[in-house]
Amino acid sequence: MTRDVALYPEDENGDVLWNMLQDGDDLTIPREVDFALIFPTEDVAIAFAVHLLRNEQKVSFSAYEENEDFPWQVVVHPLMIPTYQNIAGFEGLLVSEAVSYSGKVDGWGCMSQGD
């Protein structure tokens, strides 16, 4: 299969989606995509989680031991079809929203669907 760079650009998100497709994932099936964000304090992480909840997003909150400067994590679980446009668009929205809470996006992932 030849990679269509219009659907799977040659960047981190495009590479992940392309690898998912190559591994047999049916990327036309909607699923929860987990977007992780990390924060420097518990208070700002909770405030951001509440902001997301008020915007009808499903969220998880926990301590995050992998980064001592950003030891709190909020994970957002939107239901979406994992296209490049959906992933990059939602991630961009989170980046712009998290900055006022001193947070940053720390990646995304989802369960494989299909074969």
Block mean pLDDT (10 aa), the chain, length 115:
94 97 96 98 98 97 97 98 98 97 97 83
- CA-wise closest residue to 110 among 28, 35, 45: 35
Radius of gyration of the CA atoms of the chain, in A: 15
Predicted confidence at residue 1, as pLDDT, reads: 82
* Distance (Å, whole) CA 75 – CA 44: 14
pLDDT at 47: 98
Rounded distance between C-alpha atoms, residue 49 and residue 112, angstroms: 26
Question: Is the pTM value of this prediction over 0.85?
Answer: yes
Angle between helices 42-54 and 84-98 (to 10 degrees): 130
How high is the pLDDT of residue 103?
98
